[in-house]
A and B are shown apart, each in its own frame.
Chain A
């Protein structure tokens, strides 16, 4: 089964040390994820690609314990659904990215803990394994 990214241009692919692909405004320096064509602050259109740090701190989190409404959710439902964590991770002191967490047990998650970017399988699609980004606790 071939692995394919969930979308082009949101993380480096293929890569042993994956990084999220954001953008930075060349005028005001704000960093966005995913990349935008215009700045949400200036609002200029002078945006450039900017790779985000692979590690950061968990700023806020919760768990998703029920299958989200489909559509738009396209992952496993019913008995196949596995609860997942969701949180914002602050990367490089310049942006907070919302992402899946590999950990869904509230007792294993703490605000401020160090997290690291990983790529994980999300679902099967037309014989391919769709990969997405997530953060896992470090150590």
Chain B
């Protein structure tokens, strides 16, 4: 059974004093329902993802107490991929025909923190100040730059590109373009990554209405088909966040595993993809993920970025809505924001940031602690 997306909705990303995460979730759901032309009472099941909201299913208090199965999920930065995968599988299994995946979050500013023991790390690891996600991202791109010849200027170009794209996106958090010099000159946080090279935890919500592919044209003239959605966790030997030690044997990260599996399920390859959303927790992550998802070889990014290949009009348009760098990261919603953008692009409804030439296949990827990745592939 194939699955189609027939509605998407977003609460803008940013900071919204006085608006709760649940309220943002309800707004995103109403917009997705409106986009699909259905009512809340038509929805047969839901999956809700959040880090800060204990029970996303409480959103029914704002939408209607219809008694549907509504399951809450949390899976780190891959939370939205998990909600989408479960919603898709529910339809594939034939249990229900029309459902919704929603993500919502409302974070305080500043780097994420947690008790390291919850991540199977010793207390002293946190006490020493090593239980810090940004430090991992600095270390990973620093090594990658050394091994594959990527320059500091390329990091800045990626940020500048995502902020330019964000300026075209009325739902983005950061809409002010910055120069490469401003990006490189902002305070160093974790070498080689400066303050403006990182995304920020923020607030927002996103929702996606899914149905059986065979029913999709009841709801829309422009169904988008969910060709694959996968979640993978790290294997022994992957270089991952929150690792007090690593074995000397090396293997690829969970993004590579999730990506290969998704392409196989979809029967497509990287060369078929027209528009791409990657987890740009930081500028380095976008560069590394471009290769980890099969869109180039290690080291090719230096020339691709210099040639403008990742721009909206380039051969590999990446993060056309500004990505995490311009939108920030409300963890539960972030991956559904990626799907929202791909759906708009594939419907040719992305306005000023529309990828030219009618893109047919879109791709999204999430990655986060403690080594979890999610990928989805969509097509017209």
Determine if chain A interacts with chain B. yes
Q: Which residues of A contact B (CB under 8 A)?
A: 6-7, 10, 22, 30-34, 40-41, 59-69, 71-75, 84, 86-88, 90, 93-98, 100, 106, 111, 122, 132
> Closest residue of chain B to A5, judged by CB?
B124
Measured between C-beta atoms, what is the minimum distance from B59 to chain A in Å?
29
Instruction: Flag the segment in B127-135, B347-355, B357-365 that touches A.
Output: B127-135
Given A34-B122, A71-B126, A61 and B139 contact (CB-CB distance below 8 Å)? yes
Tell me the B92-119 residues at the A interface (CB within 8 Å).
110-116
Using a CB–CB cutoff of 8 Å, the interface residues on chain B facing chain A are 110-116, 122-124, 126-132, 135, 138-140, 142-143, 146, 187-193, 236, 239, 243-248
A96 CA to B162 CA, complexed, in Å: 35
A134 closest partner in B (C-beta): B128
Query: How far is A61 from B130 in the complex, measured between Cα atoms in Å?
Result: 12
List, in ascending order, chain B residues with CB within 8 A of A122's CB: 128
Are B130 and A97 touching (Cβ within 8 A)?
Answer: no
Q: A33-B245, A69-B113, A73-B129 are in contact. Are A64 and B123 (CB under 8 A)?
A: no
Cβ–Cβ < 8 Å partners of A94 in chain B: 248
A111 touches B245 (CB 8 A): no
Chain B nearest CB from A99 CB (Å) reads: 8
Q: Which residues of A contact B236 (CB under 8 A)?
A: 40-41
| 7 contacting pairs across A/B (C-beta < 8 A) | A6-B127, A64-B132, A65-B187, A68-B135, A95-B247, A97-B245, A98-B246
Q: Is the CB of B244 within 8 A of A72?
A: no
Q: How far is the CB of A111 from chain B (nearest CB, A)?
A: 5
CB closest residue in chain A, given B146: A111
The answer for the CA separation of A121 and B129 in the assembled complex, in Å, is 14
A96 and B247 contact, Cβ closer than 8 Å, known pairs A6-B128, A86-B139: yes
Complex contact B143–A100 (CB within 8 A)? no
Q: Which of A30, A33, A60 contacts B139 (CB 8 A)?
A: A60
A30 surroundings in chain B (CB, below 8 A) = 247
Among candidates B123, B139, B245, residue contacting A87 with C-beta atoms closer than 8 Å: B139
